[in-house]
Amino acid sequence: MKGIVPIQERIRKLKVDRDAVILVHNYQPGDVQDMGDFVGDSLGLSRQAGQTDAEVILFCGVHFMAETAKIISPQKRVIVPDLNAGCPMANMVTVRELREMKGKHPDAVVVTYVNSSAAVKAESDVCCTSANAVKVVASVPEDREVLFVPDRNLGDYVARQLGRRLILWNGYCPTHQRVLPDHVRAAKRKHPDALVVVHPECVAETIGLADHVGSTTGILRFCARSDAREFIIGTEVGILHRLRKENPGKTFHEASPLADCPNMKLTTLEKMLWSLEDLVYEVTVPEDIIARARRAIDRMLEIS
Ligand code: CIZ
Ligand code: SF4
């Protein structure tokens, strides 16, 4: 096999030639995560994008995440390995539908989860992530209505945390929707000593079985700090790679094997290499949308 250069090495070399930084989401395949200069949640990665001197950002995740990086760093070239890596939840709300809903609730404050298109963010008053959603909604005066977009599960979780009624958009993540309470109960029977840790994109009954609820960053932090040795993880299965890598003495079980997001899994090492070779596929966002979406993101950053 002498003379064959491993693909990882080719990517690393090309990354330097192209002056690129590789950002990888926590839900990406393990071999892709291992190539990341940074691995994290979508907002954390976008903030990394804002701080790097690199000219090119190779964003391994789904489309709305690359858009967020572009909103935060409009002067950089943001490329993705596969343009088909979208997010079905983000696609559950369009600008036209949101405008219609705003027409029905003209006084409502529109709080939009980062899992949404740049154009939908631009129609929103403030963004939130799964890590700061409770805090962002709590910052809206009690006498104002809140329209929470697009994740009804996260919105419902926030509403219960705050004891506040929210108008919920009827969107959801199909991947987290599949983490059923029965899956968690079966995993608990099999691993009775394990703590159950789930993402707030799951349905309420699944969340109700959890010892801890958190964003991907929150889940990573909780498991690292906990004295427990064993965990059942109710979120997209890609995160298990990082959990196992960073906590070699602990054991992690997936709550459901069905929590496997096909869009996240579109990234491969080959596509990363091609992406750097041809500097494709570039993600662009119109300037006026960048400006308005940026306002909603900045408001969130001021609050959290
Ligand atoms: O914002 C993100 O990165 C997502 C999709 C989940 C999370 O909890 O970090
Ligand atoms: Fe979208 Fe869910 Fe896949 Fe994340 S895991 S990209 S929210 S479908």
- Cα separation, 293 vs 112, whole angstroms: 10
Q: Same structural domain for residues 98 and 168? A: yes
The rounded Å distance from CA 160 to ligand 2 centre is 23
Flag whether 259 is in a domain: no
**Token duo for residue 304:** 């959290």
| 173 — pLDDT class (breaks 50, 70, 90) | very high
Instruction: Using the atom order of ligand 1, give the atom closest to the CA of residue 218.
Output: 8
216 lines ligand 1 (CB under 6 A): yes
- Contacts of residue 262, Cβ cutoff 8 Å, sequence gap at least 6: none
Domain of 124, in residue numbers: 90-172+289-303
Identify whether the C-beta of residue 250 lies closer than 8 Å to the C-beta of residue 223: yes
Flag whether 240 is in a domain: yes
Q: Same structural domain for residues 168 and 204? A: no
The rounded Å distance from CA 129 to ligand 1 centre is 7
CATH number of 56's domain: 3.40.50.10800
Q: Same structural domain for residues 168 and 94? A: yes
Flag whether 229 is in a domain: yes
**Token duo for residue 196:** 């159950």
pLDDT digits (tens, 9 = 90+) for 33-75: 999 999 999 999 999 999 999 999 999 999 999 999 999 999 9
Identify whether the C-beta of residue 40 lies closer than 8 Å to the C-beta of residue 25: yes
| Burial (CB count <10 Å: 0-12, 13-18, 19+), residue 7 | middle
Percent of the chain with pLDDT over 90: 98
Q: Flag whether pLDDT at 1 surpasses 60.
A: no
